[in-house]
């Protein structure tokens, strides 16, 4: 479906979904298949577009509202990556602007995309109104709260220092922040497709917005993939 999207610029694909749903893993798997089919793939993540720690935690480190509204620099994302790869853009882009671990600006070397490249961009809150129109195709990776928390307790201990700290941050900030986003935006109803990823060995693909998908996707035969 991504390979059949019509555009006169690189195709910008959002891989949205809650923390620890499997967005980056899906991006890596898609990229491997698409590159094997001869497609030029750019991978980037919202992790490269954080705001400073002071801005992110202005409402407190455990604020769900702060997580949803203050964590990420949408203007930088649009200016550095999504805009240049969009209609009329220069195709000269940067994959990030801020190192959230070091809490300092990051200025990666600019790159130039091929005209028919595909951007696979993973992150949270990608279908919020400020970004919604910047995507040519969107995927929402869905997983239950219990599953994402279980994964986070394995994945994020190194970042937060202990399993207790991970669980506390998820239960007070991340999970309620995602619930705020879900209630306000209803991203699963907006995305072109939904991947239900509670069980990665048996994910389910749901066509969420068939009218939108039909309008964006050329009905020509897709290339054979390995």
Classify residue 3: in a domain, yes or no: no
Return the minimum-mean-pLDDT range out of 42-46, 49-53, 76-80, 211-215.
Answer: 211-215
225 pLDDT above the threshold of 90: no
Classify residue 27: in a domain, yes or no: yes
Domain total of the chain: 1
**pLDDT per position as a tens digit, 188-201:** 999 999 999 999 99
Query: In this structure, are residues 41 and 120 in contact, taking their beta carbons and an 8 Å threshold?
Result: yes
Query: In this structure, are residues 43 and 120 in contact, taking their beta carbons and an 8 Å threshold?
Result: yes
Classify residue 1: in a domain, yes or no: no
72 pLDDT above the threshold of 90: yes
CATH number at residue 87: 3.40.50.300
Classify residue 222: in a domain, yes or no: no
- Domain hosting residue 144, numbered range: 9-213
Angstrom distance (rounded) from CA 27 to CA 29: 5
Q: How are beta strands 104-105 and 111-112 bridged, if at all?
A: unpaired
Classify residue 218: in a domain, yes or no: no
Classify residue 88: in a domain, yes or no: yes
**pLDDT per position as a tens digit, 105-156:** 999 999 999 999 999 999 999 999 999 999 999 999 999 999 999 999 999 9
pTM: 0.90
pLDDT in the model for residue 207: 85
Classify residue 127: in a domain, yes or no: yes
Classify residue 219: in a domain, yes or no: no
**Would you place residue 208 in the very low, low, confident or very high pLDDT band (cuts 50, 70, 90)?**
low
């Amino acid at each position: 479906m991504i390979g059949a999207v019509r555009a006169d610029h690189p195709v910008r694909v959002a891989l949205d979904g809650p923390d620890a749903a499997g967005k980056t893993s899906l991006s890596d798997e898609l990229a491997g298949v698409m590159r094997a089919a001869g497609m030029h793939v750019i991978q980037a993540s919202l992790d490269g577009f954080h705001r400073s720690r002071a801005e992110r935690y202005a409402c407190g480190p455990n604020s769900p509202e702060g997580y949803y509204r203050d964590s990420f620099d949408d203007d930088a994302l649009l200016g550095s990556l999504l805009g240049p790869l969009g209609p009329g853009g220069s195709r000269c882009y940067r994959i990030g602007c801020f190192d959230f671990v070091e809490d300092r600006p990051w200025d990666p070397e600019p790159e130039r995309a091929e005209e028919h490249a595909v951007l696979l961009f993973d992150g949270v809150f990608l279908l919020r109104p400020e970004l919604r129109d910047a995507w040519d195709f969107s995927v929402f990776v869905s997983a239950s709260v219990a599953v994402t928390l279980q994964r986070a307790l394995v994945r994020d201990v190194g970042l937060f220092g202990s399993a207790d700290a991970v669980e506390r941050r998820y239960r007070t900030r991340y999970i309620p922040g995602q619930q705020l986003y879900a209630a306000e935006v209803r991203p699963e109803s907006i995305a072109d497709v939904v991947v239900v990823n509670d069980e990665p060995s048996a994910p389910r693909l749901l066509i969420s917005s068939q009218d939108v998908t039909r309008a964006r996707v050329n009905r020509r035969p897709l290339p054979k993939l390995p």
